[in-house]
Amino acid sequence: MILIAILASGCSTAPHQYQYQYHAESAIGIEQLKAIKVSNRDCANIDRTVSYVEKQLQLRGIDSAHPERLSASDAEYNTTAKIIIWSLRIGCNNPNRYQS
């Protein structure tokens, strides 16, 4: 939810041009995933960012998984990834959503 708030305000202090690691064969770790901060400035590259995060789920083998069947660590990974993805999808398509 914090990610969404950051996305709406566009005041993220995190770097927007984080390094993609397409060369890696294994998924990035949970800490690296959590370090991905998105804001409305990432809307221009929404497809690229969403693809990258979805790729991580695929590499971890939990894409299209039922959340009830995931282990605690996989569930955390899945939720973190999905929050990034939906923050972008919702925030970029609905710019006024989080404005009070």
Partner 1 sequence: MKRTLIAIVCFSAGLAAAECYVRSNIKVARQSIFGAPTDIQRIVTPDAKGFQCVLRYRLNINTNWQTVEGVATAKTEEDACARAIDVGRASILEEPAPKTVRSDTQMVCGDITDIRVHPVQINDVIWESEVDIHTIPAERPYFQYKRTQCRMFVERDNKAQNLYLYQGVICRENLSAHSKWRVVDKY
Nearest-angstrom CA–CA distance, 89 and 43: 9
Binding mask 73-92 for partner 1 (x = CB under 8 A): -----xx--xx--x--xx--
Site membership for partner 1, residue 98 (CB under 8 A): yes
Helix (H, G, I), strand (E, B) or coil at 20: coil
Nearest-angstrom CA–CA distance, 39 and 42: 6
Nearer of residues 18 and 76 to partner 1, judged by Cβ: 76
Q: Which amino acid is at 33?
A: L
Q: Which residues bind to partner 1, rule: CB under 8 A?
A: 1, 4, 64, 66-68, 78-79, 82-83, 86, 89-90, 93-94, 97-98
